[in-house]
Amino acid sequence: MTTTKRITAVVLTAAAALAGPGAITAAAATTDARPAAIGTTAHDRPMREVARQVLAAGAPGYVARIDDGHRVATTVAGVADIATRRPITARDQFEVGSNTKTFMATLALQLVDRGRLELSAPVSRYLPGVVPNGRNITVRMLLNHTSGLFSYTADPEFFRTMEQDPQHVSTERELLDVAFRHEPNFAPGTSWSYSNTNYTLIGMILQKLTGRTLPDLVEHRIARPLGLRHTYFADPRATNTGPGYAHGYAVKFSGERPVHTDTSSWPIGGWGGAAGAVISTQDDLSRFFAAVLKGKLFSDRQLRQMKTTVDSPESFGIAGAYGLGLIRIESPCGTVWGHGGDTMGHHSTAVASADGRRTAVSDTTAEPGDAEPNAGVTRYYEVAVAAESVTICEMLDKPVPAAVWQALRGAKK
| Per-position DSSP letters for 99-121, written without gaps between them | GHHHHHHHHHHHHHHTTS--TTS
Q: Tell me: the pLDDT tens digits for 120-172? A: 999 999 999 999 999 999 999 999 999 999 999 999 999 989 989 999 999 99
Catalytic residue, from 98, 147, 193, 389: name it: 98
Annotated domain spans of the chain: 3-409
Provide the pLDDT for residue 165.
Answer: 95
Provide the pLDDT for residue 371.
Answer: 83
Indicate if 191 belongs to the active site: no
Confidence of residue 41 (pLDDT cuts 50, 70, 90): low
Mean pLDDT of the residues in the chain: 90
Contacts of 396 (CB under 8 A, 6+ apart): 68, 331, 333, 334, 336, 353, 358
Q: What predicted TM-score, i.e. pTM, was given to this entire model?
A: 0.92
Alpha carbons 220 and 12: distance in angstroms, whole number: 31
Alpha carbons 195 and 204: distance in angstroms, whole number: 15
- Residue 262: other Cβ atoms inside 10 A: 19
Looking at per-residue pLDDT, the higher value among 5 and 142 belongs to: 142
Chain-centre distance of CA 147, in angstroms? 20
**Run of H or E including 179:** helix 172-180
Confidence of residue 363 (pLDDT cuts 50, 70, 90): very high
- CA dihedral in degrees (96, 389, 377, 20; nearest 10)? -30
The CATH H-level superfamily of 3-409 is DD-peptidase/beta-lactamase superfamily (3.40.710.10)
- Residue 230: other Cβ atoms inside 10 A: 18
Alpha carbons 71 and 338: distance in angstroms, whole number: 20
Q: Which of 332, 195, 222 is nearest to 280 (CA)?
A: 222
Provide the pLDDT for residue 412.
Answer: 56
Q: Which of 152, 284, 173 is nearest to 218 (CA)?
A: 284
Alpha carbons 150 and 320: distance in angstroms, whole number: 22
Contacts of 314 (CB under 8 A, 6+ apart): none
Residue 255 DSSP class: S
Alpha carbons 123 and 127: distance in angstroms, whole number: 6
